[in-house]
Amino acid sequence: MERLGHALPARADATVLLDLLEDDLREGLDALGDVEAHLSDVVEALGTASPLALVEAGDDHLVQQRLELLSDVVMRLRRRLAKAAMLMRQRPTT
């Protein structure tokens, strides 16, 4: 983020953009961690071969919500990165 900050023009909108990018990355990584934890739980349930454990591992509404959030974050990141690229082009060269 610091490197990108140096590449962007020293403007308020660039500062806000960096903050939003950082928030999106943090939010996406958190969601990804929840999805990873869910998949680990599924692998563990497969090891038990218990019907109840399999049903419980497959019935996780939170992971569906986190996947939807992750999809939203990826779309926001795409737009924000395009905006950052545009701002970098506008930066005067010295």
* Range(s) of the domain holding residue 31: 2-90
Q: What is the pTM of this model?
A: 0.80
Quick one: tokens of 83?
């905006």
Q: Count Cβ atoms below 10 Å from residue 35 Cβ, excluding itself.
A: 18
CA distance to 25, 64, 88, per residue, from 74 (Å)? 9, 15, 21
> In the predicted model, what is the mean pLDDT of the chain?
91
Has residue 62 got a pLDDT over 90? no
Contacts of 62 (CB under 8 A, 6+ apart): 34, 38
Domain count, the chain: 1
pLDDT on residue 90: 83
